Amino acid sequence: MEVVGTVIAAVAGGTPVAAAAEEQAIPRSTARGWISRFAERAPGIANRFASLAIDLGSGPFALPAQPARAAVEAIGRALQAARRKRAGNVVGVWRFVSVVSGGAPYMAGSAMRPRSSP
């Protein structure tokens, strides 16, 4: 899970897929599959985690226009807010993503839907 997230974050930040895959010692085709699934779900992931961050007490914030970067930024904001609320007692970033999303950002066939407003 951490390897998947590390590759996703690196590529969202501008690292080429081949370089991110090599850094994590995984096949490029595997990395491309993860990136493809994440990119398809990025708008919903960004929405879900931005909402969670605000629900956990984060102030308002702007997200990048590029969906994958927005999703990674929203995940980071939600994790920061969760750590503040829980006095730092929160798992690593990609385990946090998996717990919150049920693994949807990386699993084939699963979709992360935006949260509905109450």
| Nearest by Cα to 49 from 80, 3, 91 | 80
Has residue 59 been placed in a domain?
A: yes
Supply the pTM of this predicted model.
0.80
Has residue 115 been placed in a domain?
A: no
Q: Quote the pLDDT of residue 118.
A: 42
Has residue 106 been placed in a domain?
A: no
Domain that holds residue 87: 2-101
Has residue 22 been placed in a domain?
A: yes
Has residue 109 been placed in a domain?
A: no
Distance (Å, whole) CA 81 – CA 63: 16
Has residue 113 been placed in a domain?
A: no
Are the C-beta atoms of 84 and 57 separated by less than 8 Å? yes
Has residue 95 been placed in a domain?
A: yes
Please enumerate in sequence order all residues whose Cβ is within 8 A of that of 62, keeping only pairs 6 or more positions apart, or say none.
none
Please enumerate in sequence order all residues whose Cβ is within 8 A of that of 95, keeping only pairs 6 or more positions apart, or say none.
1, 2
Has residue 74 been placed in a domain?
A: yes
Q: Look at the chain and report how many structural domains it folds into.
A: 1
Q: In a structure prediction context, what are the per-residue pLDDT tens digits for the chain, which is 118 residues long?
A: 678 889 999 999 999 999 999 999 999 999 999 999 999 999 999 999 999 999 999 989 999 999 999 999 999 999 999 988 877 677 788 888 888 887 655 544 444 444 444 4
